[in-house]
């Protein structure tokens, strides 16, 4: 069959096929080609028939191409192969080669029909895709965190290299690994509950937890996850990231330790300022003890001794001595380095204790105190010593704010009230006031020439440790009010 032997319609059809079409004899000798082949190779049919396969196929693909062609001719079976063919300008392009046999009624092979399809662009696209996938994998593997995907039921699917390196297990081992082997036992109940909510409610798993590294060391991680949903809104996959926050946790613990030390330093620094108040408080009961002891001695020295009056004097000595000891005990509790201990207490009682402690200081500074404490306040659950320190700092700040006031009486007011589920305490002065824009609650910020800048910072720390609020407001015409609010005890509310 020659090139010209085909009908014009059939030739037109063959020339319109987007590929290289040919026929060959049973022994593989080229018989006919469409015009696309002629254009690609830039040769006539006669030239192509005399052209050796070695001239068209890429040298790297040639051995396999020859072997497959010879095997196909020998077996008479259809076959396919991918190979690079050289274009007339010397450029090689990838083609998919497929040859199918045609047989007569007796089953004898009479002709081969072949279609050679250009797949060079497809090959390049696949290579680019593989390269992109490799780049994406490299990107994921180098993310500074443990990246993985999970099924809607929180079963592990894919992991990045960081996960494999951290746990020292292959992806297959990780999928069969029980979480109890990697999560810290103390964190396990919270993790299990969080995963349950993730499965049932679709909530992201965000419980901070300690995970055991391959060497047995536990480190803190913070999980984060985003769900992939289908068209109906159902979760089909979770994309997750575990971020190592162990160093941050240690830094926070160190910061709390430093803050506690500064708090201790601030407590000790205020001790000298309270010395006058302490001396004033203790002076009266001690003077009474001395006077009554002299009287007791005289009654015992009388002839005959007046036992009844001596006993009465001794009882007064015990009472006044106990009063002095109580003052010392309150001061010692306020300044000793003791861990927080919450208890049910009355805020009014704490206010009275601190006011009594600082009465001498207020007297020496000519400060008049006015209290407006609401009766019958519900109890709060708090650390008595910390609240004493809080109130002492606020009262002291109010006193110091009025040191330079000489054109009006120096007055300090303390009030307490119950609003909804909170107890509010306010300490007001008529001093120089403060600028609302000043960060007075920040550590080390101070407006005093020799201040440490820790007093109000400690106040905020104490209030926040009790899940409360603290704020300031300017008084008219002068002065400042510092208020804080603490929650009413649940047990009191229930009652």
Q: Please tell me the predicted confidence (pLDDT) of residue 267.
A: 57
Q: Is the pLDDT of residue 458 over 60?
A: yes
Q: Over the stretch 249-258, which tens digit does the pLDDT of each residue have?
A: 888 777 777 6
What is the token pair recorded at 476?
Answer: 């008219």
Q: Please tell me the predicted confidence (pLDDT) of residue 492.
A: 58
What is the token pair recorded at 443?
Answer: 């550590």
Summarize the confidence of residues 278-304 as an average pLDDT: 75
Are the C-beta atoms of 219 and 246 separated by less than 8 Å? yes
Q: Is the pLDDT of residue 451 over 80?
A: no
Please tell me the distance from the alpha carbon of residue 247 to that of residue 245, in angstroms, as a whole number. Answer: 6
pTM of the model: 0.37
Q: How many of the other CB atoms lie within 10 Å of CB of 466?
A: 21
In the block, tokens 């030390």 appear at: 261
Please tell me the distance from the alpha carbon of residue 210 to that of residue 185, in angstroms, as a whole number. Answer: 9
More confident residue, 440 or 495: 440
Q: Please tell me the predicted confidence (pLDDT) of residue 368.
A: 92
Cβ neighbors of 283 (< 8 A, separation 6 or more) are none
**Distance linking the first and last C-alpha atoms of the chain:** 108
φ and ψ at 247, to 5 degrees?
Answer: -65, -40
Lowest mean pLDDT segment, chosen from 27-41, 72-86, 119-133: 119-133
Are the C-beta atoms of 361 and 273 separated by less than 8 Å? yes
Cβ neighbors of 146 (< 8 A, separation 6 or more) are 159, 160, 162, 163, 166, 221, 241, 242, 244
Phi/psi-derived region of residue 444, left when phi > 0, alpha when psi is between -120 and 50, beta in every other case:
left
CA-based nearest residue to 146, from 132, 134, 158 = 158
Are the C-beta atoms of 34 and 40 separated by less than 8 Å? no
More confident residue, 280 or 477: 477
In a 10 Å sphere around its CB, with 0-12 CB exposed, 13-18 middle and 19+ buried, how is residue 73 labelled? Answer: buried
Q: Which helix (H) or strand (E) holds 123?
A: helix 120-141
| Tally of CA atoms within 13 A in the half-sphere of 152 that contains its CB | 10
Peptide bond into 304 cis (omega under 30): yes
Instruction: Please spell the DSSP secondary structure of 371-419, one letter per residue.
Output: EEEPTTPPPEEEEHHHHHHHHHHHHHHHHHHTTT--SS-EEEEEEEEEE
Highest mean predicted confidence (pLDDT) among 8-22, 381-395, 438-452: 381-395
Q: Is the pLDDT of residue 11 over 50?
A: yes
Summarize the confidence of residues 386-414 as an average pLDDT: 87
Q: Is the pLDDT of residue 401 over 60?
A: yes
Cβ neighbors of 306 (< 8 A, separation 6 or more) are 299, 300
């Amino acid at each position: 069959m020659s090139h010209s032997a085909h009908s014009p319609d059939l030739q037109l059809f063959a020339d319109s096929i987007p590929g290289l079409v040919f026929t060959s004899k049973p022994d593989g000798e080229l018989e006919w080609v469409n015009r696309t082949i002629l254009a690609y190779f830039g040769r006539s049919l006669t030239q192509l028939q005399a052209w050796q396969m070695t001239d068209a196929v890429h040298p790297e693909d040639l051995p396999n191409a020859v072997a497959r062609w010879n095997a196909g001719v020998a077996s008479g079976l259809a076959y396919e192969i991918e190979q690079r063919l050289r274009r007339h300008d010397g450029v090689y392009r990838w083609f998919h080669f497929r040859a199918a046999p045609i047989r007569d009624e007796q089953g004898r092979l009479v002709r081969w029909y072949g279609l050679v399809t250009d797949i060079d662009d497809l090959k390049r696209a696949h290579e680019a895709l593989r390269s992109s996938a490799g780049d994406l994998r490299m990107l994921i593997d180098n993310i500074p965190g443990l990246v993985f995907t999970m099924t809607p039921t929180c079963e592990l699917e894919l992991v990045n290299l960081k996960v494999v390196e951290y746990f020292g297990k292959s992806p297959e081992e990780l999928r069969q690994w029980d979480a109890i082997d990697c999560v810290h036992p103390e964190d396990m109940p919270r993790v299990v509950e969080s995963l349950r909510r993730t499965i049932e409610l679709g909530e992201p798993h965000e419980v901070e937890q300690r995970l055991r590294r391959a060497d047995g060391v536990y480190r803190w991680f913070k999980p984060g996850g985003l769900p992939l949903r289908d068209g109906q809104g159902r979760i089909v996959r979770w994309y997750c990231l575990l971020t190592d926050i162990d160093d941050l946790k240690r830094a926070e613990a160190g910061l709390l330790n430093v803050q506690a030390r500064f708090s201790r330093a601030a407590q000790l620094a205020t001790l000298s300022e309270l010395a006058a108040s302490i001396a004033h408080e203790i002076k009266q009961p001690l003077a009474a003890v001395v006077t009554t002891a002299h009287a007791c001695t005289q009654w015992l020295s009388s002839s005959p001794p007046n036992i009844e009056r001596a006993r009465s004097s001794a009882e007064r000595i015990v009472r006044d001595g106990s009063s002095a000891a109580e003052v010392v005990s309150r001061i010692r509790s306020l300044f000793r380095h003791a861990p927080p201990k919450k208890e049910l207490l009355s805020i009014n009682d704490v206010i009275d204790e601190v006011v009594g402690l600082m009465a001498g200081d207020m007297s020496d500074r000519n400060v008049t105190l006015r209290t407006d404490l609401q009766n019958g306040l519900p109890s709060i659950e708090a650390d008595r010593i910390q609240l004493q320190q809080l109130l002492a700092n606020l009262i002291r700040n109010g006193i110091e704010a009025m040191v330079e006031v000489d054109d009006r009486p120096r007055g300090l007011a303390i009030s307490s009230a119950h609003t909804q589920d909170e107890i509010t305490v306010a300490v007001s002065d008529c001093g120089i006031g403060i600028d609302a824009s000043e960060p007075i609650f920040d550590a080390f910020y101070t407006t005093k020439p020799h201040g440490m800048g820790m007093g109000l910072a400690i106040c905020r720390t104490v209030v926040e440790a009790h899940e409360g609020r603290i704020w300031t407001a300017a008084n008219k015409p002068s002065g400042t009010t510092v208020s804080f609010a603490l929650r009413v005890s649940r047990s009191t509310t229930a009652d």
